[in-house]
Every structure is written in structure tokens, then in C-alpha cells.
Amino acid sequence: ALGEIKRLNDGPVQVYVYDNNVAFVQAAVSLVVRLIDGEFPAYNKVIPTDNPGSIGFAGRDLLDSVDRVRQVAASKSAGIKLEASGNEITLVAESKTGSARDIVVAEINGEALQIAVSAAFLSDAISSLGDDVCAKYKTDREPLILFPLDYGRFSERLEVVMPMRL
């Protein structure tokens, strides 16, 4: 519903809540959404907490790099490889038509990491987090946990990007 309101983007939005409905009113458009009553799953239980490695980077730099390398990928959701070591992240995309490689400066604490992820999922996660981003990791078979570097102030804000096989 929020995505639809954002798409319409016809000025300020008034929000009305009543019973199990929420109404979003914008100029000449009204959108009414029914709220679902129920228990939200205990998602915290599936997010790994023991992640000894971390990578700090500028979100915009990595986002631009992902966009550049995925141009050679077969589709927008195709996988890309991230290789983090030393003080850089190397992104690699390969397809039948060629390959692309790009490097982003990063601060890496922990063991080197080589992981494949969906370019689209990684882009979505990074673009929602802001300027300075941290990724925590354990192995190449476990998810990347991404959050803004000011995570201490916004502890509920994080993104999980699952690894994939290429």
C-alpha cells in the first residue's frame, strides 16, 4: 500500500486508522487497506547474531559498483560475486557475453570473504540503508547482515541478503 501511495505521489498524504482499516488520502486519490490481525513470526530467531567479520563501506560507492557490474549479467536478478579482503571489495559479474569487475574501497575486519548474492537484492538493501553501511558475516554460506553505521541509534534497521550459488 505504501508503495502504491509513493507511486501516485500526488502531494501530502493524510492517514486515517479505523477498526482494522487504514485509509491513505492524497488529493483526488484514496486508498483503503485492511490490516491483518495476527502474530508476526519471531524473525529475530533466523537472523544470525554470531558474525565475527565486518565490512564498512560507503553505500553509494557500492551501489554504483553493483549497477556497473550487473550490466553484463543475464538479468537484473542475476548473481554477482563479492570478494572482500585487505581494504577493498571486488565485485564480479559474468555471463555468456562477457564479464565485469569493479573495486570499492572498504574497511574489512575479519577473514577474507568470497560470496555470491543477487545483484537486485543487494542493491535494494544498500539503497535503503543510507550513506555509511556495515555488513556483518560469518561464512560464504550464511547471510550478509547489512545495517547503517549509526545502527546504535536505530537498532531495528537492518537488511539480510542471502547467499546464492553461481
pLDDT per position as a tens digit, 79-107: 999 999 999 999 999 888 889 999 999 99
- Local confidence band at 30 (pLDDT 50, 70, 90 cut-offs): confident
* Higher-confidence position of 155 and 129: 129
pLDDT value of residue 141: 92
> Closest Cα to residue 109, out of 53, 156, 148, 162?
53
Quick one: cell of 56? 564498512
Q: Which residues in 28-56 are b (16+ Cβ under 10 Å) and which e?
A: eeeeeeeeeeeeeeeeeeeeeeebebbbe
Determine the pLDDT at residue 5: 72
**Which pLDDT band holds residue 153 (cuts at 50, 70, 90)?**
low
Q: Are 71 and 148 in contact (CB under 8 A)?
A: no
161 has a pLDDT exceeding 70: yes
Q: What is the mean pLDDT of the chain?
A: 87
Which pLDDT score is estimated for 101?
95
Greater confidence, 7 or 160? Answer: 160
Q: Which of 62, 80, 64 is nearest to 72 (CA)?
A: 80
pLDDT value at residue 155: 60
